[in-house]
Amino acid sequence: MAAKGKITKHEIQPDPLYGNVVVAKFVNHIMRKGKKSIARKILYQALEQVSEKKKSDPVEIFEKALDNIGPNMEVRSRRIGGAIYQVPIPVAKERRMSLAMRWLVLSARTKKNKPMQDRLAEEIINASENTGAAVKKKEEIHRMAEANKAFAHFAW
């Protein structure tokens, strides 16, 4: 069945404290069970820690971290004549940002023995310096895309 009509993209309002749409989107990625106020508190405290440790604008560091995490290429499975190939394709800007946010939250959540805001602040600082678990995930994806470069001609 084909989709009917044009899908309109939901417009996200800028964050009330920083006035930044990217920060507002990230709050939504942190949020669990609809508890946005808790997610905001976690992010604000994490950004406060980042600004204390790095002595500069926390939003700039945060955006640099997301930029370092976002992948340029990824592999997608494609079935051609009975065989399934991992085909490397470029990542769209929106998906790149979404994956970066998802991986940042995931890598902060997998660490234990600290409050979430501490783990998140640590991961943001690491990612801004091109280290940490989230950046490792991106490099892993890039390695897979590089290894399957021979199948790039199957990209659709």
pLDDT digits (tens, 9 = 90+) for 83-105: 998 999 999 999 999 999 999 99
CA quadruple 140, 50, 63, 111: dihedral sign:
positive
Q: Tell the residue number behind the tokens 């964050």, with chain if given.
A: 15
Helix (H) or strand (E) holding 156: none
Spans of all domains in the chain: 21-154
Q: 21-154: CATH homologous superfamily?
A: Ribosomal protein S7/S5 (1.10.455.10)
Q: How far apart are CA 28 and CA 50, in angstroms?
A: 20
Indicate whether 62 pLDDT > 80: yes
Contact 75, 87 (CB under 8 A): yes
pLDDT bracket for residue 151 (50, 70, 90):
confident
Tens digits of per-residue pLDDT, 104-117?
Answer: 999 999 999 999 99
Contact 103, 132 (CB under 8 A): no
Tallying the residues shown for the chain, one arrives at 156
- The whole-number pLDDT of residue 1 equals 64
Indicate whether 143 pLDDT > 90: yes
CA quadruple 60, 127, 87, 8: dihedral sign:
negative
- The whole-number pLDDT of residue 20 equals 93
Q: Which residues pair with 84 in a beta bridge?
A: 79
3-state SS, residue 49: helix
Task: Kindly compute the dihedral angle of the four CA atoms of residues 80, 84, 87, 91, in this order, to the nearest 10 degrees.
Answer: 110
Q: How far apart are CA 146 and CA 127, in angstroms?
A: 22
pLDDT bracket for residue 28 (50, 70, 90):
very high
Nearest to 117 by CA among 56, 27, 44: 44
